[in-house]
Amino acid sequence: MKIAIVGTGYVGLITGTGLSSFGIDVTCVDIDKEKIRLLNSGKLPIYEPQLKDLVQNNVKEGRLHFSSDLENVIRDNNVIFIAVGTPPKADGSTNLAGIQDVAKTIGKNLNSYKLIVNKSTVPIGTGRYVRKIIEEYSDGKYEVEVASNPEFLREGAAVRDFFHPNRIVLGTSSEKALSILTDLYRPLYLLETPFIKTNVETAELIKYAANSFLATKISFINEMANICSKTGANIADVSEALGLDQRIGKKFLHAGIGFGGSCFPKDLRSLVKQADSLGYDFILGKGVVKVNENQRKYAFNRISDAFKDGLKGKTIAILGASFKPETDDIRESPAIYLAERLLKSQATVKIYDPKALNNAKAALPELICASSSYEAAINADAVVLATEWNQFRHLDLHHLKSVMNGDLFFDFRNVYTRQEAENAKLKYFAIGK
Ligand code: UGA
C-alpha cells in the first residue's frame, strides 16, 4: 500500500513516519524546499523524542520518502493525507488557505479515484468544503472522497502516542473509504485500539471537543488554585482528591500558569468562533480562554508585585522556555509571555531551556541565554520556574540560592514544596498552595 502526506510539519511528519513503520510506502511532501532538503539529508526540522531514529530507519528501509513535487506526488498516490498548518486568524477563526491550496492542486491533478484524508485540525464542515474545491478544479472524470482522521498526538510524546493511541477516529462517507483507512491502521486494530467509525462532521468535532475538554480541566483547576491562594487551601491536595474520583480522573489537573502550545489556545478560540457563526454562544469555551489568559497575567503580576521598587534594572532568571517539557516548541508558551512582559518592564531576563533556547532567542533577541539553570540564576533577583522539565525537578536549591543576588523563587509549575524552598532560604511563591 502507498500513500502521500501533504505537509511535513509536526503532524505530517509523525503520521507519515508512523505509518511507514507499519510497512506502508509513504511520501511526505511539502512546498518548503528547505525543509525537504533538510529531511533528505537526515536532519529533522523539529525536536521530538524518538523521531529521528524512526525517520532514519524508515528512510533506510526504503519506505519513507520526502519530496517537494506536490503535483507528481498527487498523481502518483490514491490516498492523500492533508496535514498542512491551519493557523488562527486575528479574530480567532481558522485560516484555511493552506488547505484550499492543496485542494486546488489535487483538483487540477486528479487522474484517478482519490481518498483525501484531513489530518489537520479543521472547522466542522471542512471535509465537504475540500471536496467541493477539488470537484470545482477537476474535470469531473474521477471520483473523490474526503475523510477526517484527526490526530491526538501530544508534543513531546508523539511517537509513543502514535503507536499507542487511546483511539483512532475515522470519519468517512462511504464503506470504501472506511475500509481503506481501517486497512491502513490494521496494526493498531489488531492491538485492540478502539476505532470510532463515524461521519466526517462528527470526526471533525471530536478533535475540537477533546482539546476543549482537556483545556477546560486545566482552566478549572487553575481557578481552584486561585481560590486556594485566597483561602489557605492547598491545590495539590485538591487535585489529588478530585483525581481519585474515577469520574473525574487525575490527568490534566495540574495547576500552573495556564496552557500554551499550538493547539489548545487556537482550537478553543476556533470552536468559540465556529459556534458564534452558527448562532450558538459557547459560554464555557469563552470562559476557559479567558481564565487561561488571566492566569499568565496573574503570574506576571505576582513577580511584579514582589518588587516594591519596580522591575526596572532587576535580573530575573527564567527556567524553561518551551510551552511544556520535551519539546522545543515555544508557541503560546507562558514562559515566553513572562519573558516578554519582564523585558518590557526593563528587567534583564536570563533564560535556560534544554531544547528551546534557539527558538526563544529568535523570538526575543534581548534574552540572555544561559547554558544551565545555575548559570541563569547567577546574580538573579528572582528565579521563575516556568516549564517543568525533568531536570528542573531536582535542583539543588541551596546552590541556586547561593549564586543568586536575591531570594525570590516563583515555582509556577508547583514542582517544589514550600518547606524545600524555605530550607534553602528562598522566598517561595507557587500557584494555589
Ligand atoms: C494537545 C493534546 O493533548 C493532544 O491530544 C492533541 O493532539 C494536541 O494538543 C493537538 O491538538 O495537536 P499538546 O499541545 O502537545 O497536545 O500539549 P498537552 O500535553 O496537551 O499540554 C498543553 C498545555 O497544557 C501545556 O502548556 C501544558 O503545560 C498545559 N497543562 C497540561 C497544564 O497546565 N496542566 C495540566 O494538568 C496539563
Residue 254 CB less than 6 A away from ligand 1:
yes
Q: What is the reported pLDDT for 152?
A: 96
* Confidence class for position 405, pLDDT limits 50, 70, 90: very high
Q: What is the reported pLDDT for 395?
A: 98
155 CA to centre of ligand 1 in angstroms = 8
128-144: pLDDT as tens digits? 999 999 999 999 899 99
* Confidence class for position 191, pLDDT limits 50, 70, 90: confident
Residue 330 CB less than 6 A away from ligand 1:
no
From 214, 251, 269, mutation site for ligand 1 pocket: most ligand atoms within 8 A of C-beta: 214
* Confidence class for position 196, pLDDT limits 50, 70, 90: very high
Residue with the three cell numbers 474521477: 142
264 CA to centre of ligand 1 in angstroms = 7
Q: What is the reported pLDDT for 135?
A: 96
Of the given ranges (88-97, 299-308, 367-376), which has the lowest mean pLDDT? Answer: 88-97
CA distance 265 to 311: 29
Contacts of 180-189 with CB under 8 Å at 24 or more apart are 180/79, 180/115, 181/115, 181/117, 181/147, 181/149, 183/1, 184/1, 184/3, 184/19, 184/22, 184/24, 184/79, 185/22, 186/22, 187/22, 188/163
309 CA to centre of ligand 1 in angstroms = 36
Residue with the three cell numbers 483545556: 215
* Confidence class for position 189, pLDDT limits 50, 70, 90: confident
Mean pLDDT over 355-370 rounds to 98
Residue 235 CB less than 6 A away from ligand 1:
no
- Which atom of ligand 1 is nearest the CA belonging to 324? 28
Residue 225 CB less than 6 A away from ligand 1:
no
Residue 48 CB less than 6 A away from ligand 1:
no
Residue 161 CB less than 6 A away from ligand 1:
no
Q: What is the reported pLDDT for 190?
A: 85
Catalytic residue check, 369: no
Residue 268 has pLDDT above 90, yes or no: yes
Helix (H, G, I), strand (E, B) or coil at 84: coil
Mean pLDDT over 40-64 rounds to 94
Nearest Cα residue to 161 out of 8, 32, 48, 277: 48
The continuous run of DSSP H or E covering 398 comes out as helix 397-403
63 CA to centre of ligand 1 in angstroms = 31
104-136: pLDDT as tens digits? 999 999 999 999 999 999 999 999 999 999 999
- Over its C-alpha atoms, the chain yields an Rg (Å, rounded) of 23
Q: What is the reported pLDDT for 47?
A: 87
Residue 331 CB less than 6 A away from ligand 1:
no
Question: One-letter amino acid identity for 146?
Answer: V
Take atom 37 of ligand 1 and give the residue whose Cα is closest. 252
Residue 30 CB less than 6 A away from ligand 1:
no
Mean pLDDT over 279-308 rounds to 98
Between the alpha carbon of residue 186 and those of residues 9, 145, 170, 362, 424, the distances in Å are 24, 21, 13, 42, 55
Q: What is the reported pLDDT for 252?
A: 97
CA distance 414 to 254: 8
Burial 107-134, CB ≥16 within 10 A → b, else e: bebbeeebbbbbbbbbbbebbebbbebb
31-45: pLDDT as tens digits? 999 999 999 999 999
Question: One-letter amino acid identity for 42?
Answer: G
CA distance 295 to 220: 11
147-175: pLDDT as tens digits? 999 999 999 899 999 999 999 999 999 99
Residue 218 CB less than 6 A away from ligand 1:
yes
Give the active site residue among 28, 228, 263, 369.
263
End-to-end Cα, the chain, rounded Å: 55
51 CA to centre of ligand 1 in angstroms = 19
Of the given ranges (85-89, 253-257, 277-281, 395-399), which has the lowest mean pLDDT? Answer: 85-89
CB 274 within 8 A of CB 207: no
95 CA to centre of ligand 1 in angstroms = 21
Take atom 5 of ligand 1 and give the residue whose Cα is closest. 152
- Which atom of ligand 1 is nearest the CA belonging to 334? 26
CA distance 34 to 92: 29
Mean pLDDT over 168-184 rounds to 97
Take atom 11 of ligand 1 and give the residue whose Cα is closest. 263
Take atom 9 of ligand 1 and give the residue whose Cα is closest. 263
Residue 393: CB atoms within 10 A of its CB come to 12
